Chain A
Amino acid sequence: AQTVTQSQPEMSVQEAETVTLSCTYDTSESDYYLFWYKQPPSRQMILVIRQEAYKQQNATENRFSVNFQKAAKSFSLKISDSQLGDAAMYFCAYSPPLVFGKGTRLSVIA
């Protein structure tokens, strides 16, 4: 079974700085998809970014980008110019089937 590991239970970053959240996964498949979801205090799950394993180019969405290392099975999320609204739980996920890591709680310090 596929597993997703987030080794940082908590992280903090100064407003306007950059932070990187780590994620590793284990799979024997060659075709799969990776996601980062954000969960603010409202508990709503919000898709931040998605990566197809067959694409070598790293996905980017505005201030959010990933570093996808397929051979190392690593999928880190970089948040640039951090904002107070970025404070949330961040979950790394693998699909299919959709399996989540345990999450990293990100705090943003003003």
Chain B
Amino acid sequence: NAGVTQTPKFQVLKTGQSMTLQCAQDMNHEYMSWYRQDPGMGLRLIHYSVGAGITDQGEVPNGYNVSRSTTEDFPLRLLSAAPSQTSVYFCASSSRTSGGAETQYFGPGTRLLVL
């Protein structure tokens, strides 16, 4: 199993550009989520999905869109990039949609720089 994969590893954008960060998992996990990590802030939840066709907002959803058309993929779209979105983005997945004991499997992260 590849686990959770993310592409690209690093991206530079200009203000106003749009792009999609890709996330895929091959563990048949129902739950997937996106976090951003900023210096001194820990990880903050952007959006999450409890299964195909179902998504919801996390703590910092503004400026981001998600969709979940398949169990395997959970792309994160930046509609109009802003310098405040410069961050490291992590995708994670876990096996159950209820409770909270599930171990989150994290991808390697995407470093995004918005100029």
Q: A43-B109, A44-B108, A45-B90 are in contact. Are A91 and B42 (CB under 8 A)?
A: yes
Cβ-closest chain B residue relative to A29: B100
Residue of B43, B103, B109 touching A100 (CB-CB under 8 A): B43
Are B103 and A47 within 8 A (Cβ)? Answer: yes
Asked if B101 is at the interface (CB within 8 A of a chain A CB), the reply is yes
Are A97 and B100 within 8 A (Cβ)? Answer: yes
Are A43 and B88 within 8 A (Cβ)? Answer: yes
Q: How many residues of B contact A (CB 8 A)?
A: 22
Asked if B53 is at the interface (CB within 8 A of a chain A CB), the reply is no
Cβ-closest chain A residue relative to B99: A96
Contacts of B104 in A (CB 8 A): 45, 47, 98
Interface of chain A, main secondary structure: loop
Are B100 and A44 within 8 A (Cβ)? Answer: no
Are A98 and B33 within 8 A (Cβ)? Answer: yes
Measured CA separation A3–B103 after assembly (Å)? 19
Q: A100-B43, A102-B40, A102-B41 are in contact. Are A44 and B106 (CB under 8 A)?
A: yes
Q: How far is the CB of B42 from chain A (nearest CB, A)?
A: 4
Measured CA separation A97–B56 after assembly (Å)? 12
Are A95 and B42 within 8 A (Cβ)? Answer: no
Cβ-closest chain A residue relative to B33: A98
Measured CA separation A45–B92 after assembly (Å)? 10
Cβ-closest chain A residue relative to B109: A43
Residue of B35, B42, B92, B99 touching A103 (CB-CB under 8 A): B42
4 smallest beta-carbon distances between A and B, as pairs: A96-B100, A95-B100, A45-B106, A100-B42
Which B residues are closer than 8 A to A by beta carbons? 33, 35, 40-45, 48, 58-59, 88, 90, 92, 99-101, 103-104, 106, 108-109
